[in-house]
Structure 1
């Protein structure tokens, strides 16, 4: 869990710097009745993972937040269990074998805690997403990431508060750099992205 927590911290640092997208790990999870993880055919690894996340209640918020909570709670639980338990266990093979159920148990408990914490957050994320789409189309945003093209990019939109961070994409070979001003033209629900063009092109259209 120490390694996983370090990876999570590094990810958030890099994301804040604008080098990767905040929700780079996110993927769409269908409704609870949309996947049968017990089915023997037609399932790939992504569907199985989505089904397991549904079963444990890990859905409705960005995957990066879910993983961050699991890493944090897993590390805390594992640390205290090892601190208080390993000292009374004999060193050697027995201690090594005992670490396996400790790891699995910490993972399970951290997943349950995470599921309980994100449950009241799901309606907030869903409502915020729907309201955001309605009011941002046609507005101008500023590119936050190092680049924006047809497969990568984020832009910030001033909303009078902390600002909105949106995933944006271009058409074809068009691209933008950090600091460029772009206009949000269209929302792609499947990919949760906005198609953008430059502010100059929008003004001349």
Structure 2
């Protein structure tokens, strides 16, 4: 089955995905796949790229006299195009995949009439811009029905898991990094957790969920031993 990937018939495919403008999306698609692989193995947080994006009727937390940071600007742009209410990692993954597919097929069907070289790069710029724009619109459309699921799930989760024990799944848990798994009778809930006072846990340690921070989208934890005292 995989032998077909090494045949000469696949050369046009590889040439397409490795040349401009498709290579732009190919790079980010590979980074996305690598991220999800590493995240599943527990080396990084599943929502490591998440930023605070308000609801459609919310505010960015700045006023007209304040200086917007890069994250404020990015959050504003994402909110403007409807890219909110779902983890940023999922948004970027969907947008990258959509952009890659659009760009690939545009190059496949249109660039056969364009000579390689300078004119190919010039033609690639509008293709890249168009693919980015359409991928943003498609992503906003795809994630729209997903927002209520994430909001409802988060609200219900916070209510019943505080005070329960979880097992650290990442290589470490400290004040800046870490995830833990809470057994729920199914596949388990993967939660973003943080410690207080410089405490540190390692993979396999049992911790207790004390408090949820909406600003950081994480749970404060302590060891089971300390909780039992």
What band does the TM-score fall into relative to the shorter chain? over 0.9
* 2:122 corresponding residue in structure 1: 97
Whether the 8 Å CA contact 1:148–1:175 is kept in 2: the answer is yes
Change (3 A) 1:14 1:137: same
Which moved further from structure 2: 85-94 or 73-82?
Answer: 85-94
* 1:125 corresponding residue in structure 2: 150
Give every structure 1 segment of 4 or more consecutive aligned residues whose post-TM-superposition deviation is greater than 6 Å: none
Instruction: Give the length in aligned residue pairs.
Output: 203
Q: Does 1:143 align with 2:168?
A: yes
The TM-score, its normalising length taken from structure 2, stands at 0.85
Distance in 1, matches of 2:46 and 2:202, equals: 17
Q: Does 1:108 align with 2:133?
A: yes
Q: Displacement of 1:152 after TM fit?
A: 0.7
Which consecutive unaligned segments of at least 5 residues does structure 1 have? none
Q: Does 1:16 align with 2:37?
A: no
Q: Displacement of 1:40 after TM fit?
A: 8.0
* 1:55 corresponding residue in structure 2: 80
Q: Displacement of 1:36 after TM fit?
A: 10
Distance in 2, matches of 1:111 and 1:161, equals: 34
| 1:34-81 alpha-carbon deviations (Å, 9 max, x no partner) | 1499x6853222111111101110000000000000111111111111
The TM-score, its normalising length taken from structure 1, stands at 0.94
Distance in 2, matches of 1:60 and 1:177, equals: 31
| 1:162-189 alpha-carbon deviations (Å, 9 max, x no partner) | 2101011111121111011101111111
Distance in 1, matches of 2:61 and 2:173, equals: 37
